Amino acid sequence: MMMKKCPVCNGPGVKERRVGKYCLSKCRVCSFVYANVTDEEIEQVNFNFGEFVKCHYREVQSGIDALWFDRISTSLTRGREGLNVLDIGCGNGVLLRQFQKRSCVCFGSDPSPWACEYAEQYGYTMLPRIEEAGIAPNFFDIITTTSTLEHVARPLEHLKHIMAAVNHGGVVYLTVPNYGSLPIRLHLVQGRLVNPPGHCNYFTAKTLRNLFMQTGLKEEIAQIRVRSYGIPEIHAVYGWFSKKTPTTAHTSQSHKTKRTFLKKALINIYYWSGTPFGFGDKLEARIVKK
């Protein structure tokens, strides 16, 4: 089987493992793990999200998701208002709505045709893909991209466009699944690995940091922090609790307050439980541009 070259450093790849009917390759030079599939296959699967995905978001998202994104927007804005914010892979705009509460000027980008419906409903501006949008250099104060980089065929080129679009002193915040999580290290991959080409990039903390150290990115970076977080089982706890104590029109304010307190507590447990030893389910990176 012909091995695709590494999309980060262009080094040669060797077989890492099989996921379903596809092969994952590992770069001999930088150790990055990626799907041995063509860019065309990746494009076909990852840039044609139809009504099924729209319905899926509507079914699985809950109040705890809004609080999670509220946490992110609070951390990134740090009390400032009027910032220019772009969310890449914005979907139905849950994260952008949190930035809007902080009086940010919001933009989204998403390949899903239905994403524009939410932009019209909530009043933010949709842009084409960042590679095609013609964004003025240094325009955005904050760019977020949560759970999208694992779908991008050429992550290095994608991030170069992102860094060019963010302002000096501005922040790029991204999250990706953690290929170095404990279940994957133990080869307990069920539920943790999405078959290629749905996911085509499989980052560890080391390879994610290395991505930002490539020529064309490292020169732009003043500060970078990468850490793991999260264990998804915490969401199951909240789902169980919600079924046991459903909210109704007659639910008291004190009960709603207690539920909000529980949600915030679960979010903190979820986040910090995945930070020790880099074994968490997800990786987050926060990059400050020079």
> Are the CB atoms for 173 and 286 separated by under 8 Å?
yes
Cβ neighbours, 10 Å, residue 44: 12
Tokens of 139: 């325009």
pLDDT at 74: 96
Q: How far is CA 218 from the centre of its chain?
A: 21
What is the percent of the chain where pLDDT is above 90? 67
pLDDT at 253: 67
CATH architecture assignment, domain 13-233+269-289: 3-Layer(aba) Sandwich (3.40)
Q: Which helix (H) or strand (E) holds 146?
A: strand 140-146
The Cα–Cα gap between 196 and 41 comes to 9
* Region 30-59 average pLDDT: 81
> Are the CB atoms for 45 and 152 separated by under 8 Å?
no
DSSP annotation of 245 reads S
The Cα–Cα gap between 185 and 208 comes to 17
Q: Which amino acid is at 271?
A: Y
Of 235, 241, 227, nearest in space to 266 by CA: 235
* Region 174-190 average pLDDT: 85
Lowest mean pLDDT among 74-78, 177-181, 246-250, 256-260: 246-250
The Cα–Cα gap between 270 and 275 comes to 10
Cα–Cα separations (whole angstroms), residue 92 to 55, 98, 105, 177, 180: 10, 12, 17, 20, 29
Is pLDDT above 60 for 248? no
Lowest mean pLDDT among 64-68, 90-94, 248-252, 273-277: 248-252
For 193-216, how does the pLDDT look when each residue is reduced to its tens digit (9 = 90+)?
A: 788 998 999 999 999 999 999 999
The Cα–Cα gap between 6 and 13 comes to 6
- Structure confidence at residue 39 as a pLDDT band (50, 70, 90): very high
User: How much is the mean pLDDT over the chain?
Assistant: 88
DSSP annotation of 225 reads E
For 73-122, how does the pLDDT look when each residue is reduced to its tens digit (9 = 90+)?
A: 999 999 899 999 999 999 999 999 999 999 999 999 998 888 999 999 99
Cα–Cα separations (whole angstroms), residue 264 to 113, 146, 232, 249, 261: 33, 20, 15, 22, 5
Q: Which residue has the higher pLDDT, 50 or 87?
A: 87
Domain locations in the chain as residue ranges: 13-233+269-289, 234-268
The Cα–Cα gap between 253 and 132 comes to 48
Kindly report the backbone phi and psi dihedral angles of residue 151, in degrees, each rounded to the nearest multiple of 5, phi listed first: -100, -5
